[in-house]
Structure 1
Amino acid sequence: MRDNTLFSLAGKRALVTGASRGIGLALARGLGQYGAKIVLNGRTREPLEAARMVLDGDGIEAVTARFDVTDQDAVIAGVEAIERDHGPIDILINNAGIQRRAPLEQFSRKDWDALIATNLNAVFFVGQAVAQHMLPRKQGKIVNICSVQSELARPGIAPYTATKGAVKNLTKGMATDWARHGLQVNGLAPGYFQTEMNENLVADKDFTKWLCQRTPAGRWGRVDELVGAAVFLSSEASSFVNGHILMVDGGLTSSV
């Protein structure tokens, strides 16, 4: 038998941003099932506590860290508190994100700024704050949540596409700067998944018909199907993988 610890996260601590629901909660739960101790981040106490109770019910060790990822000072203080009170952050899942939809010519400055703040600035703020602790230790895993919209556009979401394209190249930049110091920084890019953020699209029969025809797998993704990719990018199995964007999209970006 070969060593079966290659994908083990036992003894590791993972900070997951935007972890109250959806993809963030699914990834937190999945990493916990592979042995990681979980730090759940979000802005609102009640959903965070509910998420912690879900993990507790699975026997996963989890704590909450409530701070606004769009506020750099709050991020720095929050990461410092985690390191001080709970121990080193070995894994960061940079997941927090929002969506705003409107025709580009009608898109408001307010919504543009909100997308940039949450989808891009926060990835930089949290990634930098965590890396400043990982770098002296010469090890660490950062997984930035990208999207098929890191590569492709659709009508009505051009600003979202811009943020996710920027996260893709920020991921490559982080890897370029930090790989030599022992960090692995990669992106996980979901296709179309059944989440709260997509509930209106899931309910739209015409969109679902189009998606199933457009995606080689012929269906929506389930959030639990992201766990394997996240575990791979968070574990020793990806020790020489850096700056890679791993598409989990049912083949959507491979097909025309």
Structure 2
Amino acid sequence: MYLPSFSLEGKTALITGAGRGIGRALAIGFAEAGADVVLISRTRSDLDEVAGSIEKLGRKAYGFTVDVTEKEEIQSLYDSLTSRQIPLHILVNNAGMNIRSKALEVSEEEWEKIMNTNLRSAFYFSQEAAKLMKSQGNGRIINISSVAGHVALRTGVVYASTKAAMIQMTKNLALEWGPYGINVNSIGPWYFRTPLTAELLADENYLNDILSRTPLNRVGELAELVGPAVFLSSDAGSYCTGQTLFVDGGMTVYGF
């Protein structure tokens, strides 16, 4: 048999930032592929909406309100998973934010907020997940990075720094945790249509600037991120680790 399975039947995936945008799309997409999903967000109403969509697909959904910047809340979440005997096979570190300040204008508060949300949270979620995955002898971790971690953009130096660090963290964790059967990869998106990018993409000049750097000459649709994530989480991606897959319409061919 040369066509491996892309099914996630029998798997449970934990997705941070699952209430909206990319996280919501991945959560529903993973359920469509057969996985049960642990949903992490700070907003209960968002969790309930996504959980309802997953349950309509016949999969289980577990919603937890967690401030991903607080290590104690992360630990408490994993304790809850263990006590409720909810397994964990896949972790997607998707929670993130950006403040588009120029470097001379970045405040200490902005630095700490972006670093804690994007990078610190991804490490501690990965660390706790790896403890469970090591004991079971397998697991998949996917970090949602960005093209900004690979090429220079005009603003958002703190965001870019966190995403570059995520790419390097992916490599280090893949090396350290490979012997435990844990695959660690990252995905680097360019512009996708989400509630957070809607206002930017509504600006015709801004959109044209984006498209001028995108060989496919269009913005990505959220469904186009689901396939790569499912691939890296399934048997089809079992020999991939330490890699960053740029889902960017070819943007990183140019840089910015």
What is the TM-score of this pair, normalised by structure 1?
0.96
Residue type matched to 1:17 in 2? T
Shift in alpha-carbon separation, 1:86–1:3, aligned structure 2, 3 A: farther
CA contact (8 A) 2:28 2:50 kept: no
Deviation at residue 42 of structure 1 after TM alignment: 0.9
CA distance, structure 1, for counterparts of residue 155 and residue 146 of structure 2? 16
1:63 paired to 2:76: no
Distance across 2 between alignment mates of 1:49 and 1:83: 22
Q: Distance in 1 between matches of 2:187 and 2:29?
A: 14
Q: Which runs of 4+ in 1 moved over 3 A?
A: 2-5, 57-60
**What SS does the aligned partner of 2:219 have?**
coil
Worse-matched range after superposition: 101-110 or 56-65: 56-65
Following superposition, the deviation at residue 255 of structure 1 comes to 3.1
Q: 2:167 corresponds to which residue?
A: 168
The match for 2:203 is 204
How far did residue 5 of structure 1 move? 5.9
* Aligned residue in 1 for 2:123: 124
Matches within 5 A, 1:98-117: 98-117=97-116
Please list every run of 5 or more consecutive structure 2 residues that lacks an aligned counterpart in the other structure: none
Any idea what SS the aligned residue of 1:39 has? strand
Partners of 1:83 and 1:153 lie apart in 2 by 41
Aligned to 1:21: 20
Hey, what's the Cα distance between the residues in 2 that align with 1:46 and 1:228? Answer: 27
User: Which whole-Å deviations, capped at 9, do the CAs of 1:138-183 have from their partners, x for residues lacking one?
Assistant: 1000001010011012222111100100111011111011001100
Normalising by the residue count of structure 2, what TM-score does the alignment of the two structures yield? 0.96
Give the aligned CA root-mean-square deviation in angstroms.
1.4
User: Residues of 2 paired with 1:118 and 1:21: CA distance?
Assistant: 16
Alpha-carbon distance in 1 for matches of 2:91, 2:99? 25
Q: Match of 2:188, SS?
A: strand
For 1:241 and 1:95, locate their aligned partners in 2 and report how far apart those are by CA, in whole Å: 19
- String of CA shifts for 1:41-91, please: whole Å, max 9, x gaps: 111212111221222233332121222111111101101212331421000
Offset at 1:187?
0.3
Quote the residue 2:187 is aligned against: 188
Count of aligned residue pairs for this structure pair? 255
* Paired residue secondary structure (2:100): coil
Query: What is the aligned partner in structure 1 of residue 241 from structure 2?
Result: 242
Contact 1:70 1:125 in 2 (8 A): no
Q: Which residue of 1 aligns with 2:134?
A: 135
Mapped to 1, the partners of 2:212 and 2:140 lie a distance apart of: 36
Q: Distance in 2 between matches of 1:32 and 1:77?
A: 25
One-letter amino acid of the counterpart of residue 228, structure 1: G
CA distance in 1 between partners of 2:142 and 2:59 (Å): 20
- The amino acid that maps onto 1:212 is L
Could you tell me which residue of structure 2 aligns to residue 145 of structure 1? 144
| Equivalent residue, structure 1, for 2:224 | 225
Counterpart Cα distance in 1 of 2:83 and 2:25? 26
The answer on whether the counterparts of 2:170 and 2:186 sit within 8 Å (CA) in structure 1 is yes
SS in 2 for 1:196: coil
CA distance change for structure 1 residues 65 and 3 in 2, over 3 Å: closer, same or farther? farther
Structure 1 unaligned blocks of 5 or more = none
Deviations 1:19-39 (A, max 9, x none): 001000100111110100011
Of 109-118 and 151-160, the range deviating more from structure 2: 151-160
